[in-house]
Amino acid sequence: MRERAVLVLEDGTVYHGYAFGHRGKSVGEVVFNTAQTGYQEILTDPSYNGQIVVMTYPHQGNYGVNVFDMESNRPWVRGFVAREFSRYAAGPRAQQSLEEFLQDTGVVGLEGIDTRALVRKIREGGVLKGVIAHASHFGSPGYRFTPEDLSALREEARRWTDIDGRDMTPEVSTPLPYQFPTFKGSRRVVVMDFGIKHAQMRYMAELGFELIVVPGKTSPAQIMALEPHGLFVSNGPGDPSMPRYAHETLWKLMGLLPTFGICLGHQLLGLAAGGRTFKLKFGHRGANHPVKNLLTGKIEITSQNHGYAVDPDSLKDFKPTHINLNDGTLEGMAHLRYPVFSVQYHPEACPGPHDSLYLFHRFLEEVDAFNGLTGLPVEKQRVGSLGV
């Protein structure tokens, strides 16, 4: 007998399905992702901290899980929802099934619901808080949820602290500085970790950067004491307006170092320069978002995961460089005077297309030009994939 499970939203909407993964209960902000593959990278992306992720593609888990596709040391999602999960891992790289992975790491899952109806509700009304609950949490796998149970779960979702207005980066940032494993390079870059994905560091290391990763609360003086040639500002979860310490740090460093920001890093740079951010109705999450590069006129298909955006009208010192072709929101910007630029999406993909990998090489060029390092050798392992 399949174990019953429910997803109860804060507005009282109930979706009945079946339990998957770790047995229990979990509450979070319910969002959706349109990627067809890459569920392991999504699960382990720290930017999903506090969120229950609904996959629009109906089948998940087909190719299993392996240690090489981890984007951090563990999953960060609060829950995982799909129309149907595979119990078997058919991929040649698989080391365990998706269900085994979720069970081992404590992620509560739900399957068998109408994900199309749920996604339409989120698209039309905006993101909502919700609770996934398994029958065994109430006593046994055969337990039938009562109206009183569903009412209590709705109240739990309603009371859960909203992501809006929360600084969630300390939960995912490294507690101590460390050097990312790589060959010692000639270009030292300090990485401000607000919830970084491993792929971002891998691409930079393969280009010859020596990466020193520091907590997001590291001061400007501590960063400059490391004598870096550049600064990288990572992605991360939560409301970008809340880590005000980061705004101050980036404002003080503006113009002192070539700087590249991704996702939350993009938003923090905008706020540091006096700009504003706003919360999107249902966010951008998927591997198929079209973005126009205003400098070249080219269209890039991008991987995205964010619930906030920078208001371009609030920026005085940055010019727009990329826009989203679905809703016209700002996807990239560059400082008018300093070698500082950022993008809202994820050029490292993982999962997703590699249309935007050239941005890492642009960062390399900015670092070299600023520090007079032109002519130093560049690692060639994957430079061909960067489009240079």
- Residue 1 CA to residue 84 CA, distance in Å, equals 16
Nearest-CA neighbor of 21 among 108, 88, 112?
A: 108
Tell me the per-residue pLDDT of 168-216, one tens digit each, with 9 for 90 and over.
999 999 999 999 987 667 899 999 999 999 999 999 999 999 999 999 9
> In the chain, what is the straight-line distance between the N-terminal and C-terminal CA atoms, in Å?
56
Contact present, 212 and 196 (Cβ < 8 Å): no
Amino acid at 269: L
The mean pLDDT value of the chain amounts to 94
Instruction: Enumerate the known binding-site residues for L-glutamine.
Output: 47, 236, 238, 264, 267, 305, 307-308
* Per-position DSSP letters for 291-307, written without gaps between them: EEETTT--EEEEEEEEE
Query: Looking at domain 167-367, which CATH architecture does it have?
Result: 3-Layer(aba) Sandwich (3.40)
Supply the pLDDT for residue 317.
Answer: 96
pLDDT band at 120 (very low <50, low <70, confident <90, very high): very high
Q: What is the pLDDT of residues 289-348, one digit of tens each?
A: 999 999 999 999 999 999 999 999 999 999 999 999 999 999 999 999 999 999 999 999
> What is the structure's pLDDT at 1?
80
Residue ranges per structural domain of the chain: 2-157, 167-367
User: Where residue 54 falls among pLDDT bands split at 50, 70, 90?
Assistant: very high
Examine the pLDDT at 10 and tell me if it is beyond 70: yes
Q: What is the pLDDT of residue 382?
A: 36
**Binding site, annotated residues:** 47, 236, 238, 264, 267, 305, 307-308
| Residue 375: predicted pLDDT | 57
DSSP string for 191-218: EEESS--HHHHHHHHHTTEEEEEEETT-
The percent of residues in the chain predicted with pLDDT above 90, rounded, is 93
More confident residue, 181 or 369: 369
- Among the listed residues 228, 238, 236, the one whose alpha carbon sits nearest the alpha carbon of residue 197: 236
Active site residues per annotation? 263, 346, 348
Query: What is the three-class DSSP state of 270?
Result: helix
Report whether pLDDT(388) > 50. no
Residue 20 or 185, more confident: 20
Nearest partner of 296 among 323, 335, 327, judged by Cα: 323
Q: Which CATH number fits domain 2-157: 3.40.30.10, 3.50.30.20, 3.20.20.150, 3.40.50.720?
A: 3.50.30.20
Residue range 138-160, pLDDT digits in tens: 989 999 999 999 999 999 999 99
Nearest to 77 by CA among 98, 47, 56: 47
Alpha carbon 138 to chain centroid distance? 33
d(CA 386, CA 388) in angstroms, rounded, equals: 6
Span 58-80, average pLDDT: 97
